[in-house]
A and B are shown apart, each in its own frame.
Chain A
Amino acid sequence: GAGVSQSPRYKVAKRGRDVALRCDSISGHVTLYWYRQTLGQGSEVLTYSQSDAQRDKSGRPSGRFSAERPERSVSTLKIQRTEQGDSAVYLCASSLRDRSSGANVLTFGAGSRLTVL
Protein backbone atom coordinates (compact mmCIF):
# COMPACT_ATOMS: atom_id res chain seq x y z
CA GLY A 1 0.00 0.00 0.00
CA ALA A 2 0.92 3.63 -0.23
CA GLY A 3 0.76 4.41 3.46
CA VAL A 4 1.92 3.16 6.82
CA SER A 5 -0.27 0.45 8.30
CA GLN A 6 -0.31 -0.77 11.86
CA SER A 7 -1.74 -3.84 13.50
CA PRO A 8 -3.56 -4.60 15.61
CA ARG A 9 -5.56 -1.39 15.77
CA TYR A 10 -6.75 -2.27 19.26
CA LYS A 11 -5.11 -4.49 21.84
CA VAL A 12 -6.16 -5.33 25.39
CA ALA A 13 -3.54 -7.00 27.55
CA LYS A 14 -3.35 -8.12 31.14
CA ARG A 15 -0.74 -6.42 33.25
CA GLY A 16 2.57 -8.28 33.16
CA ARG A 17 2.06 -9.78 29.73
CA ASP A 18 4.28 -9.05 26.74
CA VAL A 19 2.79 -7.28 23.72
CA ALA A 20 3.96 -6.98 20.12
CA LEU A 21 2.72 -4.29 17.75
CA ARG A 22 3.44 -4.40 14.03
CA CYS A 23 4.15 -1.63 11.56
CA ASP A 24 4.36 -1.93 7.78
CA SER A 25 6.00 1.24 6.54
CA ILE A 26 6.54 2.76 3.13
CA SER A 27 9.04 1.14 0.82
CA GLY A 28 12.08 3.36 0.40
CA HIS A 29 11.64 5.24 3.65
CA VAL A 30 14.84 4.97 5.61
CA THR A 31 14.09 5.69 9.23
CA LEU A 32 11.22 4.24 11.18
CA TYR A 33 9.96 5.66 14.48
CA TRP A 34 7.70 4.50 17.26
CA TYR A 35 5.87 7.16 19.26
CA ARG A 36 3.64 6.79 22.28
CA GLN A 37 0.73 9.19 22.45
CA THR A 38 -1.29 9.91 25.59
CA LEU A 39 -3.52 12.79 26.64
CA GLY A 40 -1.24 13.75 29.48
CA GLN A 41 2.18 13.42 27.87
CA GLY A 42 1.43 14.12 24.24
CA SER A 43 3.57 12.28 21.70
CA GLU A 44 6.99 11.03 22.79
CA VAL A 45 9.43 9.00 20.75
CA LEU A 46 10.12 5.54 22.12
CA THR A 47 12.62 4.20 19.66
CA TYR A 48 13.71 4.50 16.08
CA SER A 49 15.80 2.54 13.65
CA GLN A 50 17.62 3.22 10.45
CA SER A 51 17.55 1.04 7.41
CA ASP A 52 20.66 -0.92 8.11
CA ALA A 53 19.73 -1.87 11.60
CA GLN A 54 17.88 -4.21 13.68
CA ARG A 55 19.53 -2.05 16.27
CA ASP A 56 17.23 0.50 17.79
CA LYS A 57 18.00 3.75 19.44
CA SER A 58 15.77 3.94 22.40
CA GLY A 59 14.15 7.06 23.59
CA ARG A 60 12.30 7.21 26.82
CA PRO A 61 11.37 4.94 28.45
CA SER A 62 13.87 2.23 27.65
CA GLY A 63 14.32 -1.25 29.01
CA ARG A 64 10.93 -2.83 28.47
CA PHE A 65 10.53 -1.29 25.04
CA SER A 66 12.40 -2.56 22.01
CA ALA A 67 11.90 -2.62 18.28
CA GLU A 68 12.90 -5.25 15.77
CA ARG A 69 13.14 -4.68 12.05
CA PRO A 70 13.12 -8.07 10.34
CA GLU A 71 12.63 -6.43 6.94
CA ARG A 72 13.35 -2.91 5.72
CA SER A 73 9.72 -1.88 5.70
CA VAL A 74 8.52 -3.86 8.72
CA SER A 75 9.00 -3.10 12.39
CA THR A 76 7.69 -4.75 15.50
CA LEU A 77 7.50 -2.85 18.78
CA LYS A 78 7.77 -5.18 21.75
CA ILE A 79 6.66 -4.17 25.20
CA GLN A 80 7.71 -6.53 27.96
CA ARG A 81 5.88 -6.96 31.25
CA THR A 82 3.22 -4.40 30.43
CA GLU A 83 2.09 -1.96 33.11
CA GLN A 84 -1.16 -0.03 33.34
CA GLY A 85 0.80 3.12 32.55
CA ASP A 86 1.62 1.66 29.16
CA SER A 87 -1.98 2.20 28.06
CA ALA A 88 -1.69 4.59 25.13
CA VAL A 89 -1.85 4.90 21.37
CA TYR A 90 1.36 3.67 19.76
CA LEU A 91 2.13 5.43 16.49
CA CYS A 92 4.54 4.20 13.90
CA ALA A 93 6.03 6.68 11.43
CA SER A 94 8.47 6.38 8.59
CA SER A 95 10.47 9.30 7.34
CA LEU A 96 11.72 10.66 4.08
CA ARG A 97 13.81 13.78 3.62
CA ASP A 98 11.88 16.55 1.87
CA ARG A 99 14.09 17.87 -0.92
CA SER A 100 12.76 21.41 -0.86
CA SER A 101 12.99 22.04 2.87
CA GLY A 102 15.64 19.51 3.83
CA ALA A 103 13.47 18.47 6.74
CA ASN A 104 12.47 14.93 7.55
CA VAL A 105 8.82 14.38 6.80
CA LEU A 106 7.06 11.77 8.88
CA THR A 107 4.24 9.64 7.53
CA PHE A 108 2.27 8.16 10.39
CA GLY A 109 0.17 5.05 10.67
CA ALA A 110 -3.26 5.19 12.29
CA GLY A 111 -1.87 3.80 15.53
CA SER A 112 -2.43 0.82 17.79
CA ARG A 113 -4.46 1.57 20.90
CA LEU A 114 -3.19 -0.52 23.81
CA THR A 115 -5.18 -0.95 26.99
CA VAL A 116 -3.48 -2.68 29.89
CA LEU A 117 -5.82 -4.01 32.56
Chain B
Amino acid sequence: TQLLEQSPQFLSIQEGENLTVYCNSSSVFSSLQWYRQEPGEGPVLLVTVVTGGEVKKLKRLTFQFGDARKDSSLHITAAQPGDTGLYLCAGRNYGGSQGNLIFGKGTKLSVKP
Protein backbone atom coordinates (compact mmCIF):
# COMPACT_ATOMS: atom_id res chain seq x y z
CA THR B 1 0.00 0.00 0.00
CA GLN B 2 1.37 3.37 -0.98
CA LEU B 3 1.10 5.99 1.72
CA LEU B 4 1.68 9.70 1.66
CA GLU B 5 2.55 11.12 5.05
CA GLN B 6 1.97 14.80 5.57
CA SER B 7 3.43 16.89 8.34
CA PRO B 8 2.61 18.73 10.37
CA GLN B 9 -1.00 17.68 10.75
CA PHE B 10 -1.98 21.05 12.22
CA LEU B 11 -0.26 24.41 12.00
CA SER B 12 -1.35 27.68 13.57
CA ILE B 13 0.73 30.75 12.83
CA GLN B 14 0.55 34.53 12.82
CA GLU B 15 0.13 36.58 9.68
CA GLY B 16 3.48 37.35 8.08
CA GLU B 17 5.25 34.18 9.19
CA ASN B 18 6.76 31.64 6.82
CA LEU B 19 5.91 27.94 6.92
CA THR B 20 6.73 24.67 5.21
CA VAL B 21 4.49 21.64 4.82
CA TYR B 22 5.97 18.26 3.98
CA CYS B 23 4.67 15.28 2.04
CA ASN B 24 6.71 12.06 2.25
CA SER B 25 6.46 8.54 0.94
CA SER B 26 8.60 5.45 0.52
CA SER B 27 7.10 5.02 -2.94
CA VAL B 28 7.99 6.74 -6.18
CA PHE B 29 5.32 8.78 -7.92
CA SER B 30 5.10 9.80 -11.55
CA SER B 31 3.63 13.12 -10.50
CA LEU B 32 2.48 14.85 -7.39
CA GLN B 33 -0.20 17.44 -6.88
CA TRP B 34 -1.02 19.90 -4.12
CA TYR B 35 -4.60 20.89 -3.39
CA ARG B 36 -6.14 23.41 -1.00
CA GLN B 37 -9.53 22.78 0.54
CA GLU B 38 -11.66 25.31 2.40
CA PRO B 39 -14.46 24.32 4.81
CA GLY B 40 -17.56 23.17 2.99
CA GLU B 41 -15.81 23.01 -0.34
CA GLY B 42 -13.95 20.40 -2.36
CA PRO B 43 -10.17 20.43 -2.87
CA VAL B 44 -8.89 22.82 -5.52
CA LEU B 45 -5.72 22.06 -7.45
CA LEU B 46 -2.79 24.38 -6.80
CA VAL B 47 0.03 22.75 -8.75
CA THR B 48 1.27 19.59 -10.42
CA VAL B 49 4.95 18.62 -10.33
CA VAL B 50 6.26 15.85 -12.55
CA THR B 51 10.06 16.09 -12.74
CA GLY B 52 12.38 15.08 -9.89
CA GLY B 53 13.89 18.22 -8.34
CA GLU B 54 11.28 20.45 -9.97
CA VAL B 55 10.43 23.73 -8.26
CA LYS B 56 7.28 25.67 -9.06
CA LYS B 57 6.21 29.02 -7.70
CA LEU B 58 2.72 30.34 -7.38
CA LYS B 59 2.90 33.88 -5.93
CA ARG B 60 3.97 33.33 -2.29
CA LEU B 61 3.79 29.53 -2.57
CA THR B 62 6.83 27.47 -3.58
CA PHE B 63 6.43 23.77 -4.38
CA GLN B 64 9.29 21.33 -4.69
CA PHE B 65 9.33 17.73 -5.88
CA GLY B 66 12.09 15.61 -4.41
CA ASP B 67 14.89 14.36 -6.65
CA ALA B 68 13.79 10.77 -6.12
CA ARG B 69 10.11 11.64 -6.66
CA LYS B 70 9.20 10.31 -3.23
CA ASP B 71 8.58 13.55 -1.41
CA SER B 72 7.45 17.11 -1.85
CA SER B 73 7.28 20.32 0.11
CA LEU B 74 5.12 23.42 0.06
CA HIS B 75 6.62 26.64 1.41
CA ILE B 76 4.49 29.71 2.03
CA THR B 77 6.18 33.06 2.47
CA ALA B 78 4.57 35.81 4.55
CA ALA B 79 1.40 33.85 5.23
CA GLN B 80 -1.92 35.68 5.13
CA PRO B 81 -5.29 34.80 6.71
CA GLY B 82 -6.54 33.95 3.23
CA ASP B 83 -4.06 31.05 3.15
CA THR B 84 -6.04 29.30 5.87
CA GLY B 85 -7.28 25.90 4.77
CA LEU B 86 -6.49 22.21 4.44
CA TYR B 87 -3.50 21.49 2.22
CA LEU B 88 -3.48 18.07 0.59
CA CYS B 89 -0.77 16.38 -1.39
CA ALA B 90 -1.73 13.65 -3.83
CA GLY B 91 0.53 11.32 -5.74
CA ARG B 92 -0.10 9.39 -8.88
CA ASN B 93 1.60 6.01 -9.02
CA TYR B 94 3.24 4.61 -12.10
CA GLY B 95 1.00 2.37 -14.14
CA GLY B 96 -1.84 1.07 -12.08
CA SER B 97 -5.36 2.22 -12.54
CA GLN B 98 -6.48 5.15 -14.57
CA GLY B 99 -4.97 8.17 -12.88
CA ASN B 100 -5.87 7.02 -9.44
CA LEU B 101 -4.53 9.59 -7.00
CA ILE B 102 -3.41 8.71 -3.49
CA PHE B 103 -4.01 11.50 -1.01
CA GLY B 104 -2.21 12.39 2.17
CA LYS B 105 -4.34 13.19 5.21
CA GLY B 106 -3.61 16.87 4.89
CA THR B 107 -2.17 19.75 6.87
CA LYS B 108 -4.70 22.05 8.44
CA LEU B 109 -3.29 25.58 8.36
CA SER B 110 -4.67 28.48 10.36
CA VAL B 111 -3.21 31.93 9.82
CA LYS B 112 -4.26 34.44 12.46
CA PRO B 113 -4.36 38.17 11.67
The 0/1 profile, CB within 8 Å of B marked 1, for residues 84-114 of chain A is 0000000101010110011111111111000
- Closest B-chain residue to A6, C-beta based? B42
Contact B42 A101, beta carbon cutoff 8 Å: no
Contact A42 B31, beta carbon cutoff 8 Å: no
Contact B105 A42, beta carbon cutoff 8 Å: yes
Q: How far is the CB of A45 from chain B (nearest CB, A)?
A: 6
Give the number of A-B contacts (CB < 8 Å).
Answer: 68
Contact A93 B42, beta carbon cutoff 8 Å: yes
Contact A109 B105, beta carbon cutoff 8 Å: no
Contact B48 A105, beta carbon cutoff 8 Å: yes
Query: Is A21 part of the binding interface, using a Cβ–Cβ cutoff of 8 Å?
Result: no
Q: Give chain B's interface residue range (CB within 8 Å of chain A).
A: 20 to 34
Q: How far is the CB of B94 from chain A (nearest CB, A)?
A: 12
Of the candidates A35, A48, A102, A108, the one whose C-beta lies within 8 Å of that of B50 is A102
Query: Is A115 part of the binding interface, using a Cβ–Cβ cutoff of 8 Å?
Result: no
Query: Is B45 part of the binding interface, using a Cβ–Cβ cutoff of 8 Å?
Result: yes
Q: Give chain A's interface residue range (CB within 8 Å of chain B).
A: 20 to 34
- Closest A-chain residue to B98, C-beta based? A31
Of the candidates A41, A45, A97, A111, the one whose C-beta lies within 8 Å of that of B101 is A45
Query: Is A44 part of the binding interface, using a Cβ–Cβ cutoff of 8 Å?
Result: yes
- How far does the alpha carbon of A95 sit from the alpha carbon of B50 in the complex, in Å? 17
- Closest A-chain residue to B44, C-beta based? A108
Contact B45 A106, beta carbon cutoff 8 Å: yes
Of the candidates A48, A98, A103, A111, the one whose C-beta lies within 8 Å of that of B98 is A48
A43-B88, A110-B41 known; A104 and B101 CB under 8 Å? yes
- How far does the alpha carbon of A101 sit from the alpha carbon of B42 in the complex, in Å? 22
- Measured CB to CB, the residues of B under 8 A from A are 30-31, 33, 35, 40-45, 48, 50, 88, 90, 92, 97-101, 103-106
- Measured CB to CB, the residues of A under 8 A from B are 4, 31, 33, 35, 41-45, 48, 50, 57, 59, 91, 93, 95, 97-98, 101-111
